Amino acid sequence: MAEGTIDLRGRDFLDLADFTPEELRGLLRLAAVLKEKQKAGERVQPLMGKTLGMIFEKSSTRTRVSFEVGMVQLGGHALFLSSRDTQLGRGEPIPDTARVLSRYVDGIMIRTFSHESVRELAEYATVPVINGLTDLHHPCQVLADAMTILEHKGRLEGVTVAYVGDGNNMANSWLVGAPLFGMNLRVATPPGYECDSGVVDRAKELAARAGTEISLVHDPREAVAGADVIYTDVWASMGQEAEREERLRAFAGFGVTVALAAQAAPDYLFMHCLPAHRGEEVAAEVIDGPHSVIFDEAENRLHAQKAILVATMAGRLA
């Protein structure tokens, strides 16, 4: 098998918990190889002639551009399908859409609201389905995050990540991802905005198996104390705009300020999946400061997702 290659042909990428630590490490190695080859100007096109159908029921800058550019760089082609461009928006059953698209494309990426819809799509599709984001999980982002931490820290094992903010899809994916990568995780949320209880139970099982630590608290200072990474996300995600004012009140004191960040390890990294609201979940001095790696993190969405595409649609680099 070629250097860095991991063969996941025909597998879906819906939730990090569907994979073993070895498989996830394999994806990180493949992502690093693909990034190195791109930086060196070496053309690697294992997806020549293949097409990715991209369904967007939630809009996105980074997800669309990174998947579309990734497919082009790998020799393939990507089709953008908004909710206006598919029969899903007109009530076609998900199984029918899955079966039809499987006759046309070699893989499907979907960014939507319901995680169950993605699971149903994967159940009936005969090509790999990649979760570009749901309200429950955002696995592509955490894979890119792990890649970024590894680049900057040189390790993942024993790294402590402090997640401060909403118990949303990012927090959920960090809960299952941290133990699979050998990291410790502390999540600080306001009361009433905790992570999904089912995800928490699964994460505790994974942490017990990995020998890592997970803690769920309501005090950001407790989460951040001595942490190697501080991570946050917007307080009102897409679809929650009507709750914005209520959430601003509930999340008072959960912004990552200079004073809060000072409680972390001296060489901490600041991370954010973007887009960010400076002055709300993070101070401008932090996100634009010397500890911030948000643009490396954003770039690595491209490389991590290229690894997913190659592993699930080709299984080899050449």
Residue 305 labeled ligand binder: no
**Does the bond joining 275 to the residue before it have cis omega, within 30 degrees of 0?**
yes
Indicate the pLDDT class of residue 1, thresholds 50, 70 and 90. Answer: very low
What is the residue whose two structure tokens read 């909710």? Answer: 83
Residue 134 labeled ligand binder: no
Check 273, 291, 303, 305 and give the catalytic one. 273
pLDDT tens digits for range 87-136: 776 788 999 999 999 999 999 999 999 999 999 999 999 999 999 999 99
278 catalytic per annotation: no
* pLDDT average, residue stretch 262-273: 98
Which of 53-67, 81-95, 177-191, 283-297 has the least mean pLDDT?
81-95
pLDDT tens digits for range 156-214: 999 999 999 999 999 999 999 999 999 999 999 999 999 999 999 999 999 999 999 99
What pLDDT was estimated at residue 169?
A: 97
End-to-end distance of the chain based on CA atoms, in angstroms? 10
Asked if 159 and 136 count as a contact pair (C-beta separation under 8 A), the reply is no
Q: What average pLDDT is seen over the chain? A: 95
Residues whose CB falls within 8 Å of the CB of residue 94, separated by 6 or more in sequence, listed in order: 88, 117, 120, 121, 124
The alpha-helical segments, DSSP class H, found in the chain are 21-39, 62-73, 94-104, 115-124, 139-153, 169-180, 197-210, 220-224, 244-250, 258-261, 284-287, 294-313
Q: How many CB atoms lie within 10 A of CB 79?
A: 17
* pLDDT average, residue stretch 26-40: 98
Distance (Å, rounded) from C-alpha 261 to C-alpha 270? 9
* pLDDT average, residue stretch 264-291: 98
Distance (Å, rounded) from C-alpha 280 to C-alpha 244? 11
276-to-43, 234, 271 alpha-carbon distances in Å: 33, 6, 10
Residue 60 labeled ligand binder: yes
138 catalytic per annotation: yes
DSSP state of 92: -
Catalogue all structural domains in the chain, each as residue range(s) with its CATH number.
16-137+299-313 (3.40.50.1370), 141-297 (3.40.50.1370)
pLDDT tens digits for range 203-246: 999 999 999 999 999 999 999 999 999 999 999 876 677 788 89
Q: One-letter amino acid identity for 315?
A: G
267 catalytic per annotation: no
- CA angle 146–159–215, rounded 5-degree value: 100
Label residue 158 exposed, middle or buried (CB < 10 Å: 0-12, 13-18, 19+): exposed
38 catalytic per annotation: no
Check 106, 145, 196, 233 and give the catalytic one. 233
Residues whose CB falls within 8 Å of the CB of residue 141, separated by 6 or more in sequence, listed in order: 133, 170, 173, 273, 301
195 catalytic per annotation: no
Which of 73-87, 180-194, 274-288, 290-304 has the least mean pLDDT?
73-87
Phi–psi pair at 185, nearest 5 degrees: -135, 135
Residue 195 labeled ligand binder: no
Check 141, 228, 291, 303 and give the catalytic one. 141
Q: How far is CA 98 from the centre of its chain?
A: 23
Distance (Å, rounded) from C-alpha 173 to C-alpha 44? 30
Residue 197 labeled ligand binder: no
12 catalytic per annotation: no
Inter-residue long-range contacts of 241-247, CB under 8 Å, 24+ positions, other chains counted: 247/166, 247/193
Distance (Å, rounded) from C-alpha 55 to C-alpha 109? 6
